[in-house]
Amino acid sequence: MALISDRVGASFELAESVSPEEGIVSTRIFVDDEIHREELDRVFARSWLFIGHETEVPAKGDYVVRRMGHDNVIMARGEDHAVRVLLNQCRHRGMQVCRAELGNASHFRCPYHGWVYKNTGRLAGVPLYKDVYGSNLRIAEIGLRQPRAASYGGLVFACWDEGASSLEDYLGDARWYLDLLLAWTNAGMEVVGPPQRWVAGMNWKLGADNFCGDGYHVWTLHRHAYEMGVIPENAVRNGHVISTSHGHGIRIQTAPADAPIPDYVGMEPELVPMLDDNLSEAQRAVLRKAVVVHGNIFPNLSFVLSLAAGDPDDPAGGFANFRLWQPTSAGESEIWSWFMVDQEASTRYKEGSRRAYVRTHGVSGTFDQDDLEVWTNITATARGAVSRESTFNYAMGIGADRDESWPGPGTVYASDYSEANQRAFYAAWLAKMLAGEAANGR
């Protein structure tokens, strides 16, 4: 059995305390500092992590600073127009070479001793190089460390594990569902403004857990959204939860074909013909009467495409949001939230869509305020001596029959209330943690 030592020297039997197939997840994994430290190595250092969107660095020299777990990285577009991810750590004494959050630069200069790196990561200059180093420093062989980087639909991912599968294989069948957000139009999506960021006293897994497939909480926690008209009350819903390889999960709610709601999540009619060129017939059928599409790419990239009632002067459209649950400690996370919209959409539609996002899923949005109140309470409660020895129940839907008629890939259940996706998420998490045990020779 895999053992993880806790702060007082006792042992925690991870494989016995987290049993996704039985719907059992130990409360301790949400608050234990030792487990958090192991996650950084076994989950975050060995998975493909979302860094940003290509439209955030449109010109040569553009860069943004991001994180992979606790590691600070730079996403930069080089002079060759390629987008790279660089560890923001000087190879001399470890100082950050880039202190700004975003900007444009051909080089990054360490403020400590002045080592200079090109935005491709190559070491370009060392002060007094010949005088102080002579032949002892091989500049051509020293550069900023770089994880593997790849993109899908404009989303840039990076991974430190050289032995991991390709990004395409890692995303697998989840790409079919990501296309429902990213590939509607010929030009694709663009990020509008920098990501919103805020800190919450919650474990990162609670956000990923919710977005990967929790429809059970909506009618209770978010009931006011129906009462206020933020969510159309007349949209009778049919839910499906879908899990794919590597712990990715998606939940889709669709309304009946004759439901009086806008088609294609309120997409502008002028853009609808592009769907024929970019999505399959099956994808268009799923998207046509979709009310909400949300999910989580393991470990911590969540997304939502939602139909939301606008202000009286706004179009009856929807919005798309991607977000990261960035762990800062076992009991705290930094949330990064991107608003995205079709590049070909009209200015009026983009602004209406942005307002719908801000109202519901932005830092002050009604949905996020609801969710954070619960997630921070769960995390605080779980710190108790007795509470941390409890287990969470994820048994909903165990034994249900799969929906073989669903037109898309994955393991699919025709139910709005199921915890199958959460079980798949925690199974992937457990596999990563136990694989780390084996890799460390424990």
State the Cα angle at 334 between 3 and 307, rounded to 5°.
110
* CA distance linking residue 184 with residue 182, whole number of Å: 6
The SS3 assignment for 168 reads helix
**What's the confidence (pLDDT) of residue 261?**
83
Q: In what order do the strands lie in the sheet with 155-159?
A: 49-53, 155-159, 148-152
Phi, psi for 287 (deg, rounded to 5): -80, -25
What are 83's strand-pairing partners?
A: 77
Q: Is the pLDDT of residue 56 over 80?
A: yes
Q: What is the mean pLDDT of residues 123-147?
A: 89
Which has the higher per-residue pLDDT, 232 or 403?
Answer: 403
Each residue of 181-207: pLDDT tens digit?
999 999 999 999 999 999 999 999 999
CB-hemisphere CA count at 13 Å for 235? 23
The SS3 assignment for 288 reads helix
Per-residue pLDDT band for 140 (boundaries 50, 70, 90) equals confident
Q: Chain-wide mean pLDDT for the chain?
A: 90
Q: Is the pLDDT of residue 122 over 90?
A: yes
* Contact criterion met (CB below 8 Å) for 300 and 325: yes
**What's the confidence (pLDDT) of residue 208?**
98
Which has the higher per-residue pLDDT, 157 or 315?
Answer: 157
What are 228's strand-pairing partners?
A: none
The SS3 assignment for 267 reads coil
Per-residue pLDDT band for 442 (boundaries 50, 70, 90) equals very low
**Secondary structure percentages of the chain, helix, strand, coil, to 5:** 30, 30, 40
**What's the confidence (pLDDT) of residue 222?**
75
**What's the confidence (pLDDT) of residue 6?**
47
Q: What is the mean pLDDT of residues 130-145?
A: 87
CATH numbers and ranges of domains, the chain:
52-152 (2.102.10.10), 172-433 (3.90.380.10)
**What's the confidence (pLDDT) of residue 411?**
98
Phi, psi for 381 (deg, rounded to 5): -65, -35
* Contact criterion met (CB below 8 Å) for 272 and 148: no
Q: What is the mean pLDDT of residues 65-78?
A: 97
Annotate 228-253 with DSSP letters as a single string.
TTSS-TT---EEEEEE-GGG-EEEEE
**What's the confidence (pLDDT) of residue 237?**
63
Q: Is the pLDDT of residue 431 over 50?
A: yes
**Most distant CA pair in the chain: distance in Å?**
79
Q: What is the mean pLDDT of residues 407-436?
A: 95
The SS3 assignment for 90 reads coil
* CA distance linking residue 214 with residue 412, whole number of Å: 14
Place of tokens 């001399």: 92
Each residue of 205-218: pLDDT tens digit?
999 999 999 887 87
* CA distance linking residue 366 with residue 375, whole number of Å: 15
* Contact criterion met (CB below 8 Å) for 83 and 69: no
Amino acid in the structure at residue 425: F
Annotate 341-388 with DSSP letters as a single string.
EETTS-HHHHHHHHHHHHHHTSTT-HHHHHHHHHHHHHHHHTTSTTGG
Residue (of 306, 278, 438) closest to 367 by Cα position: 306
Each residue of 21-34: pLDDT tens digit?
999 999 999 999 99
Which has the higher per-residue pLDDT, 16 or 19?
Answer: 19
Q: Is the pLDDT of residue 11 over 50?
A: no
Listed in order, strand segments (DSSP E) in 140-289 are 148-152, 155-159, 189-191, 196-200, 238-243, 249-254
> 417-432 in b/e burial notation, b at 16+ Cβ within 10 A?
bbbbbbbbbbbbbbeb
Contacts of 51 (CB under 8 A, 6+ apart): 66, 68, 73, 75, 85, 149, 156, 157, 158
* Contact criterion met (CB below 8 Å) for 124 and 117: yes
Per-residue pLDDT band for 64 (boundaries 50, 70, 90) equals very high
Write out the H or E segment, with its range, that includes residue 179.
helix 174-182
* CA distance linking residue 288 with residue 291, whole number of Å: 9
What secondary structure letter does DSSP report for 103? Answer: E
Contacts of 209 (CB under 8 A, 6+ apart): 296, 422, 425
**What's the confidence (pLDDT) of residue 8?**
34
Per-residue pLDDT band for 310 (boundaries 50, 70, 90) equals low
Q: Is the pLDDT of residue 65 over 70?
A: yes
Per-residue pLDDT band for 234 (boundaries 50, 70, 90) equals low
Each residue of 355-388: pLDDT tens digit?
889 888 888 888 888 888 999 999 999 999 999 9
CA distances 21 to 388, 423, 426, Å, are: 21, 7, 9
What secondary structure letter does DSSP report for 27? Answer: G
